[in-house]
Structures are given as C-alpha cells and as structure tokens.
C-alpha cells in the first residue's frame, strides 16, 4: 500500500487533455494508464518540475500535519463556500454573468457576532472579508482542537504533561473564556 491521502476530484476535459500533454512533453508513456493514474502522473511531473526549478520548497515531511490540517478540518459549510468562491472566480475570469450562474455566495449557516465583527474589520482595512473570516475560523478550530487535546491529556495522563503544556493549557483556557467561539 502506498502512503498518502486519498483524494477525489473532478477534472474538466481541457485539464485532462493538458495532463496528457504534460506527460507527452515529459516523455512518459501514457498507454495503459488509467485516467486517475494519468492525472496523478501529470501532477507528479508538474510537482517535480516546480521542485527542480526551486519554485516550491523541498519538504522533509516533519511539518506534514501542520501543513495539511487546515484542509482536513474544514467544515462542510466552509468547503461548500470555498467551492462556490472558486466557481465564481472562474466565472469572473471568463467574463460570465455571475448572478445567473450561482447567485450570491451562500452565507454560512451560523455566523456569530464575533465573526460579523471580523468581517467588518477586514472590510474596513480593505481586505477580503470572506478570506478574513475563513482565517479566523481556521485559527479558532486550531485553538479549540489544541485546547481539547491538552485538556484530555491533563485529565487522563497529567504525570506526562510538561510544564510548558500546562502553561499552554492555561493560556488556551483563558483565550477561550475571552472568546466564546474559540472553544
């Protein structure tokens, strides 16, 4: 079994043809490859090209969980909103009428007062309110996850907690008390 994550994605016909072009340009034999195998090989070729060119850093794998966590913890509402944002951006680039295609972006089911303040503050600073809200939610989820992890460790195995973990737990609890949506 090969290590890694299993992902599912929809690839448009133009992108599939581009994958074939990438493999042919790299001299990879495409006969006998499945469609998903062909896309995976094309992605590998493009990643290796970017690594060789120095466009992206070579990673040793020790930061894997930290780099992947924002994509694995996203709620369904966040995933849907990101999908709509990408679709609208594509329609915008193509010059299509966005209101006919998807209408307005859906509001996330529950928006707290704190999240409204985050969006308003971002808009006031001239930043993208949706991106600021998404960043706020990811930070809140990371803080909440770490708080739950440390609290469970403190309850089940306090003898193996370091002083720095106790200090971090205390700080996270204080932060959660100040911001009800952080827990």
Q: What is the mean pLDDT of residues 96-109?
A: 49
Q: Which of 39, 49, 33, 44 is nearest to 14 (CA)?
A: 39
Class of residue 78 by CB neighbours under 10 A (exposed 0-12, middle 13-18, buried 19+): middle
> Where do the domains of the chain lie?
13-58, 73-109, 111-183
Confidence at residue 46, expressed as pLDDT on a 0 to 100 scale: 92
pLDDT of residue 143: 76
The conformational region for residue 127 under phi > 0 = left, psi -120 to 50 = alpha, else beta, is: beta
pTM of the model: 0.41
| Secondary structure (3-state) at 77 | helix
Torsion sign (Cα): 60, 61, 66, 72: positive
pLDDT tens digits for range 162-182: 888 888 888 888 887 776 554
Interval 103-156: pLDDT, tens: 444 444 456 777 788 888 988 998 887 788 778 877 777 777 788 888 888 888
């Amino acid at each position: 079994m090969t290590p890694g994550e299993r992902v599912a994605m929809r690839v448009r016909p133009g992108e599939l043809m581009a994958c074939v072009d990438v493999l042919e340009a790299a001299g990879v034999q495409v006969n006998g490859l499945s469609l998903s195998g062909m896309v995976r090989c094309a992605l590998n070729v493009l990643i290796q090209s970017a690594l060789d060119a120095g466009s992206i850093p070579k990673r040793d794998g020790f930061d894997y969980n930290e780099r992947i966590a924002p994509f694995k913890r996203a709620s369904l509402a966040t995933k849907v909103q990101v999908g709509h944002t990408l679709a609208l951006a594509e329609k915008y680039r193509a010059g299509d009428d966005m209101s006919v295609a998807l209408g307005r972006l859906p509001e996330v089911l529950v928006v707290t007062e704190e999240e409204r303040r985050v969006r308003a503050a971002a808009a006031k600073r001239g930043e993208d309110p949706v991106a600021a809200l998404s960043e706020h939610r990811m930070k809140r989820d990371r803080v909440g996850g770490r708080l739950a992890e440390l609290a469970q460790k403190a309850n089940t195995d306090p003898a193996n907690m370091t002083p720095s973990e106790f200090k971090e737990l205390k700080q996270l609890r204080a932060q959660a008390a100040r911001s009800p949506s952080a827990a």
